[in-house]
Amino acid sequence: MASNTPFKKLVCSNPKCKQWKMDRTGKAKDAHCGLPMELSDNWYVRITVRGKLTTKSVSPRKRDAEKFIEDCREGRACASERDISWADAAENGAKWWSALVTKKKISQATADHYAYRMVALTEFFEGHTLLTISKGDLEDYMTHRAELGRAPATINHEVKALRKLYALHVDRTSSEESPKLCGKYADLSRVELIPKDGAKVRFLTEDEIKLLLDKATTPLVRIATLIALNTGLRRANVLELNWKEVRLSERVINLPAEKMKSRKDHTVDIPVHLVEPLKTWRASQPLSPDLFPDVHFRTEWDKTIDACGFTNVTFHTLRHTFASQFLMAGGDLSTLSEILAHADIAITKNIYGHLSREHKRKATDEFAAAFLSRF
């Protein structure tokens, strides 16, 4: 039988002290051992088990604890909720993302994106369970990644991947079966992402582009770099290209919907000066149906970037470089949005709008100097 009011534990912050107090408001503050006491993440209930009164942790949400009490009153089973280890959760995520690709609910590129983000998350959370990760743990993770020099956008992507992992597990159960997990998912979803604060995207200058191509002595890296710089395609779209999708005679690349983040077929024009390098590359590997069968691309890319001495440069920087150079050469946001296959032009404006404004300001100044100044 459970008590009629849920409560939070007010625990002494001294790790050697086991003292705690009952707090029914979830807001109280007190001190013990000369140190402030801290509120527990979860709500608790008093429950009688085999004639003994004990406390039971239920969920970060008070309403889940209240429902637990109601279930006990009405004689429904108060079975303990099974926790999920991080290793099992990561394995489940990989399996479910693969299944979503098969069902064409997400693209392979999206699944690869989540898998890539899971590497850093696993390094930090390995040994945890889904129910033991708190908001504070997630905030500590974000601080840790920032101290390693990771960009805010990178950290935000990783946080979203963690939320997606929880969402997949929540979608496969119910709030009645897993109140703690549902509560934990809701709790972690309240952690705020790092604001962009108007930060501009990193793109390569003309001198940096020349340096990159000079240092890209490996044919594999050089041709992949040229494709990205001339088309703005994402890393996965470039590295997963096959020769059926690259039509050199028509000078286009046709990408099917299942490979696109937008889930729509996409066609990219191949510039004239890129045709000959692609023909040479194809002749060097006549038996391969794929453009890049070599699995060591990341290693060769990292070596090239190190040789250049670049900081905060990833393969995705080449996509930003294409977009930035396109706008600074007089291109418009609407056309760029179509080329990059953004789902909405608002995405393009949010990322590259400042470059468009800078170009317009420069064009206006040049126009005024050349024409209006005469009056």
- Which of the pair, 318 or 360, is modelled with greater confidence? 318
At 364, the pLDDT band (50, 70, 90 cuts) reads low
**Distance of alpha carbon 256 from its chain centroid, rounded?**
23
**Cβ atoms of residues 162 and 121 within 8 Å:** yes
What digits encode the pLDDT tens for the residues 303-352? 999 999 998 888 989 999 999 888 888 888 899 999 999 888 887 887 88
**Cβ atoms of residues 41 and 88 within 8 Å:** no
Determine the topology of domain 86-188 in CATH. DNA polymerase; domain 1 (1.10.150)
Q: Is a pLDDT exceeding 60 seen at residue 234?
A: yes
What stretch(es) of the chain map to CATH 1.10.443.10? 206-365
**Distance of alpha carbon 80 from its chain centroid, rounded?**
32
What digits encode the pLDDT tens for the residues 81-105? 778 999 999 999 999 999 988 888 8
- Sequence letter at residue 68: F
- List helix spans (H) across the chain: 62-73, 86-102, 108-125, 135-147, 152-171, 179-188, 206-215, 219-231, 235-239, 272-283, 297-308, 316-328, 333-339, 345-370
What is the signed CA dihedral for 112, 113, 115, 117, rounded to 10 degrees?
Answer: 160
Indicate the average pLDDT of the chain.
83
**Distance of alpha carbon 274 from its chain centroid, rounded?**
32
Mean pLDDT along residues 29-47: 77
Q: Is a pLDDT exceeding 50 seen at residue 122?
A: yes
Give the per-residue pLDDT at 166: 94
Q: Is a pLDDT exceeding 60 seen at residue 147?
A: yes
User: 246 - beta bridge partners?
Assistant: 253
At 7, the pLDDT band (50, 70, 90 cuts) reads confident
Architecture, CATH, for domain 206-365:
Orthogonal Bundle (1.10)
**Cβ atoms of residues 2 and 46 within 8 Å:** yes
Backbone angles phi, psi at 48, to 5 degrees: -95, 120
pTM, full prediction:
0.54
What digits encode the pLDDT tens for the residues 200-212? 678 899 999 999 9
What digits encode the pLDDT tens for the residues 237-263? 999 899 999 999 999 999 998 888 777
Q: Is a pLDDT exceeding 80 seen at residue 79?
A: no
The HSE-up count of residue 170 (CA atoms within 13 Å, CB side) is 20
At 1, the pLDDT band (50, 70, 90 cuts) reads very low
What stretch(es) of the chain map to CATH 1.10.150? 86-188
**Cβ atoms of residues 129 and 180 within 8 Å:** no
**Tokens 């040229």 belong to residue:** 226
